[in-house]
Structures are given as C-alpha cells and as structure tokens.
Amino acid sequence: MLHTKLCDIVGIKHPIMQGGMGPYKTEALAIAVANAGALGIISSIGMAATMLPDAAPIDAMRLFGNDPPAVILQKSIDAVTKGTRASGGVFGVNIPVASEFMLASEMFVKQTIESCKSDSDTERSLRVIVTSAGNPKPWAVLKQEGFIWVHVVPSVYHAKKAEQAGADIIVASGHEGGAHVSWEPVHSMVLVPAVSKAVKTPVVGAGGFCDGASLAAALCLGAVGIQMGTRLIATKESDFEPMWKQAIIEREERRTLVGRGLFGPMRFLRNARAEAIVRRTLSDIPSFYLGEPLDSNEEILKLERTGFDDLIDAKPDTALMFGGEVTGRINDIPTTKELIERIVKEAAETLRTVPQSVLRR
C-alpha cells in the first residue's frame, strides 16, 4: 500500500486523482473513482455550453437536456454524494477559470458552496475544488469556504503563482496530456521535477500517467501522486462512449494531434476531424500569438461542435475525441477499481524492487 501527503490532505486511500474531463459530467466515473479509494472529479466545463450560445463547442441540449447549468451541477453533486455514501468516498468539482469562462466559473463555485451548505453528506464527501486554465489569485476564497483547493499549471512560473495565491495542491500538467495543454511543449519528465523543486506546496503529476511504473516515477520525481484522464476514460464505468474507449486502446503514442480549442490548444486523438482542426490552426498561427479574439475562430468552433455531434452519433472518423500520448500505453478497459488497485500494487512493487536491483552494498 502507498500512502503520501496527497492521501493525508484529501482523505483518500490511494494517491491518485481523476482529471476533470469534458464535455461530459463524468459523474459515473467520479463515483467509481471515489469508491475505489482515489479522488473522483465532476467536470463542469460542458455544463456551461448554454451560457456561451455564440461560441459553445457542444450542443448542451443533447448532453444535458433543458436544465440550466447550476441545476445540472447540483444534480451531479447529488448523484455523486449518493453514489459514494456507502464507501465514504471523496470527490471534487473541476471548474475552469479562463477569462472566457468567468461567468460560468463564478456561478459554479457559488453552486458548489451552496450544495455543501445545504447537505451534510455532501459537505462530508465534496472536499475539493480544482481550478484550471486561468489566474489562480481570485480563487483563494475557496479555502475560506472550507474546500481543499487544487490548481492546475503548465509551468514553474504558473506553479509559483498558484503557491503565492495559497493553493493547497498544485497539479503540474505536462504537454503530453489529453485535451487542454499549453502552447509551450514542456512534458512531464521535465515539468514535474521542476515544479516539485520550485515550490513547497505538494505537487501532483499529470500528463502521461497510466500505470504503476508511471506512478512510481512521479513519486521519485518529487510528486505526491498522479492525476489521470485518458487512462480513466478507458474504464468500464466511465461516462464516455464505447467508440471513444475503443479508440484509445487502438491508438499508439504517435496518433494524437494538438490544435486550437475553445480556451487554447487541445490534444485530440488523431482522425479526420482532428486533422481538419490542426490544418486550420496552422493556417492561423500568427493570429494566435497576437491574441486575436475568439470570434476570429468561427471555423474551428464549427469543426468542434460538429465533431461532438458526430461523437454522439458514433461516427469514428469525424468524431472529436480528446486523448493524451499515453494512449499508446493503454490496451484494456478494466473496471475503475481493478485499474486503481493494479496501479497501486505495481507502483509499490516497483518502488520495492528497483533499489534492490540497482544499488550495491
């Protein structure tokens, strides 16, 4: 059994976090991860699509029905609270805080606070809010409300900003991760040890982690645990389509592409849709670096929206599917419990046996 500072801070059995992954709520996955002794996460980003009518990359009505965003989040929180009650599992909510998302960010934070205040079971189990894709400074209020505050960063510079703002945990997310990534291609093998050395705040590694060997590596690099996204999509309980899960286990590590998304660059599983987004991205590279407004990217937004439509309609070559380079190391679809227990067992064995094989007396 492995036990780190992440386990102590959050109150979980295993030093593993689920990433917040859109466009889905990920409530079924959050329940499964929390019940397995790790930190489950509800993803809020897709819920806000109705608040961005002119720029929404997804048709929220097809995914969430007619409920307004705050109600969608409340229902998900209620569902995960109920689903984790018997196990005592712990979960959180991921809330992007990019400037384009700010109205939704404030609304989701308020709703999460209200959910905890109105239900004692929720207050016990919903312990974490994860912020990402924006400035951490305004969100120190989360600690005052009693939450464990986690902030996701792509660089040492941003990690120091998160520490100055008071984050309890920093997730150092390498460029090989799926979905939102930084333009600067700093990968986990460089980023995780650099951030771990630069800050005193506990660091969790993200991007490229999927098994016991990579968990052991993260701990050796100075992290107190790992966050997984792509690996957890390919589990039996995850909220993602069978087609998406199958695409992950079929692709090798070179079959991903980075192109422009709603809040900046994103890594996709490679298919015709992803290639079209990358072609458009490459044709507009100068405007990206000059910071032109989002409405200059109507073609990319259209490609994204129709790509999500094709995902729901199960069209594998034109569906838009996120995934990290680690897809090349994923070859099965286990239950979440089986996966987490396997990872922890393999990591403990690696940490026990490697010193014996390389150190001489």
Domain residue spans of the chain = 5-240
- Domain 5-240: give its CATH code: 3.20.20.70
For the beta sheet containing 264-269, the strands, ordered from the edge strand earlier in sequence to the opposite edge, are: 179-180, 264-269, 256-261
CA distance 257 to 259: 7
Q: What is the pLDDT of residue 38?
A: 98
In this prediction, the residues of the chain whose per-residue pLDDT falls under 70 are 50-65, 284-297, 361
* Total-model pTM: 0.92
pLDDT at position 296? 45
Q: Which distant-in-sequence residues (6+ apart) come within 8 Å of 78 by Cβ?
A: 115, 119, 122
* Length of the chain (residues): 361
Residues in CB range of 237: below 8 A, 6 or more apart: 28, 29, 31, 32, 335, 336
pLDDT reported for residue 303: 85
* CA 267 to each of CA 141, 186, 254, 257: distance values in angstroms, whole numbers, following the listed order: 31, 14, 12, 5
Q: CA torsion 262→263→268→273, rounded to 10°?
A: 20
Question: Which pLDDT belongs to residue 289?
Answer: 46
pLDDT computed for residue 260 by the predictor: 86
Residue entry with tokens 């910071």:
291
Q: What is the pLDDT of residue 98?
A: 84
Residue 39 pairs with which residues in a beta bridge?
17, 90
pLDDT at res. 217: 98
Output the pLDDT for position 51: 62
